Every structure is written in structure tokens, then in C-alpha cells.
Amino acid sequence: MKTVLVLCGGRSAEREVSCVSASAVLRNIPKGWKAELVWIDPRGRWHLQSSPKGLASAKAPAKHPFEKRPAALVPGTPSRLLAGTRALSPDAVFPVLHGPFGEDGTMQGLLDILGWPYVGSGVLGSSVGMDKEVSKRLAVHAGLPVLPYAVLNSPKDLAAARRLRLPVFVKPARLGSSVGVYKVKKAADLATAVRKAFRFDTTVIVEQGIPAREIELAVLGPTEGAKASVAGEIRPNAEFYSYEAKYLDPNGAELLVPAKVTKSQEAHARRLALEAFRSHGLHGLSRVDFLMDKNTGKLWFNEVNTLPGFTAVSMYPKLWGATGVTFPRLVGRLLDLAMTRAKAQARLRITRD
């Protein structure tokens, strides 16, 4: 039986969401795999849990009382995770981590150094997928439709943002789950929203707002040859799909799976989603988000999510469920993709001719 090491928590503002996602993943580990669990605390310290069953069965995973059992990483061949008298060398890692130090390429680099196969994109794909500015540049280069936007490196530098037509959305460049996102409808409110967003990142993106439907697709597979799910739609019961609507308010949004779109619209969305996946160099999984203009039906690329939520209400597993892939099959497929990529990398030469 193979061992998968599930990582949750972390140094991101999204660490509570990570624990909820990890709980769902642990409940859906496929046959042939045994799960181990590490909780990463807000200071970045790893704690190997005695059993993952506690988090898997927790009614409130975000508030789960994790054991503080410090673990140490020992690189080598094979690399090991040491916690007291226990030594662990997993066959694969599922980093159920959202945001910085988990989804942005830093954790992926560490896992590459350790030589442990892992679910999701590599260092480059994770990094560019997390950075909204770089992601938009890649999307434009690939010919994907992108709404006008401005990049701010200082809360005082608002000139470019003021040239956009209101309303606008203000976002930290490298964060997810709608943390630090603000909708601005009045010019007088822009500076305050930007200042608040800069609490979460050193770069802020200001995006042109439109009357839009939020359309999302899930992508699964290798960089070349991946498949896209049916399209889903999120209908927020507020100004936009905020953190509160996603995770705190049970009536925060209506999730339509599949979305009420035409066959041609869905086919177009699938093509764009797969192009976004390829152009960003992604692997394994991604949720690709679009904005559909309510007046014209035009699709605009919004962002890619390289480690989307895996909670019971998350769109990624819901979209694949509607496409015919159950949660355990989905987790198994992701682990298989991790192992296949690791085998391909192991065949690469590390010496000169």
C-alpha cells in the first residue's frame, strides 16, 4: 500500500480553508493508498499528526485542535520526515495548501528538493498561476481575452487605476479565496480599498468591472492532453463572491452545476480553459475562472487556481462530479498524475555526455 502525505494549514491567510479542504480529501483517499497528515502552523513549522482520522471526521475542520508534534525534514535518498521515533518517506504528497507558501511554487520547490512526487503544478506553473499580474500577461500573450487592468506597487500610485471605468475590483496580486478583494463603485472609495489590499501583498491589481456571470471550469490531466469539465456558474447573493460568501455564509451564493449556457458557449469556454492551462504550464489540476458579459455573452479570462478548494461546497470537485468523476476517483487520478510526472523527471539525465 502506498502512502500519501497530506499537508494542510500553512503561513497563508487561507490556512483555515486549507484545513477544510484537507478534511474532504482525507475522506476520499482511494483504495491502495494510506494517508498521513501534517499540519503546518502559522509560523511554518511542521507537525506530524498521530492519525488523520480526527481531521477527516471533524465537524469544524477550520477549528480542529491539531497536535503539536514537531517534525523535521531530512533531505536525502530517500528523504525522510522525522517526528520523535517515527520516520516517514511518503510515496506522494498532496499539498492541500492555498495561497502563499503553499500554492505559489515555494512548497513545490521544497518537495522537488526532497524528491517527493506531489499533486499539482510544478514551481513555474504554481508561481505564475498565483501571481495575477504575470498570469494576465501570459493570458494576453496566448490570445485569451483579458479585461483592462492596472498594476499598483504602492498605495499612493493610483493614476493608472483611476483611468479604469468604475466599478473596479481591487485585489492582492498573490492571494486567493477572495481574501483582501474589494469592489469599488465610487472614485472616493478607491484609495481606501487599495490601502486595505496592500495589507496582504506588496503588489495590488485593479481590474475593470463589468456586469458579469461568473463561469468556472475544472481542468484535469498533464500539461498536454488535459481535459476540461462541464462549466459551472456561481451566483453570489452579494456584490461579488467574497470570502464570507464562499466559506462562512451558507446562503452566500448559488452554485449552478452545470451552468445554464449553450453548447457552443460551453465548448468555447472549454477551449479557453485548456489554452489557459497550457499557456501557464500547469499540470494535474486547475480551476479556470471566466467572466461572461451579461449583455454580450463574451467570455473574459479572470484567473487560474492551481490548488483550488476541495471543500464539500467547492466548485472543483463538484464540476468533476457533474462530469462523471467521483471524489475518490478524482483524488486517485491526481495521485496517479503526480507519480507519472515524477517517473518522467527521474529519467532525466543529471550528468553530461
pLDDT confidence bin for 247, thresholds 50/70/90: low
The residue-averaged pLDDT of 40-62 equals 96
Q: How far apart are the first and last CA of the chain?
A: 38
Residue 248 confidence (pLDDT): 53
Residue range 331-349, pLDDT digits in tens: 999 999 999 999 999 888 8
Q: Which residue numbers are catalytic?
A: 14, 177, 247, 287, 289, 303, 305, 309
Q: What is the pLDDT of residue 121?
A: 98
Confidence of residue 246 (pLDDT cuts 50, 70, 90): low
What's the whole-number mean pLDDT along residues 10-35? Answer: 95
**pLDDT: which is higher, 162 or 100:** 162
Percentage of residues of the chain with pLDDT beyond 70: 95
Decide if pLDDT at 244 tops 80.
Answer: no
Give the model confidence (pLDDT) of 300-309 as tens digits. Answer: 999 999 999 9
Specify the pLDDT at position 221. 97
Specify the pTM. Answer: 0.92
**What pLDDT band is residue 317 in, cutting at 50, 70 and 90?**
very high
pLDDT for residue 240 is more than 90: no
Q: What is the pLDDT of residue 251?
A: 66
Q: What is the pLDDT of residue 292?
A: 98
Beta-carbon contacts of 300 under 8 Å, excluding residues fewer than 6 positions away, are 145, 146, 147, 210, 212, 290, 291, 292, 293
Is residue 331 within 8 A of residue 29, CB to CB? The reply is yes
- What's the pLDDT tens digit per position in 105-140? 999 999 999 999 999 999 999 999 999 999 999 999
Domains of the chain: 2-118 (3.40.50.20), 128-145+211-343 (3.30.470.20), 149-208 (3.30.1490.20)
What pLDDT band is residue 268 in, cutting at 50, 70 and 90? very high
Distance CA 159, CA 228 (A): 39
- Asked whether the beta carbons of 267 and 211 are under 8 A apart, the reply is no
Average predicted confidence (pLDDT) for the chain:
93
Q: Please give the pLDDT value at position 239.
A: 64
Average pLDDT over residues 189-218: 96
Mean pLDDT for the stretch of residues 1-12: 96
The answer to whether residue 245 scores a pLDDT higher than 60 is: no
> What's the pLDDT at 176?
64
Task: List the grid coordinates of 83.
Answer: 517526528
In tens, the pLDDT along 148-161 reads: 999 999 999 899 99
State percent of the chain over pLDDT 90: 86
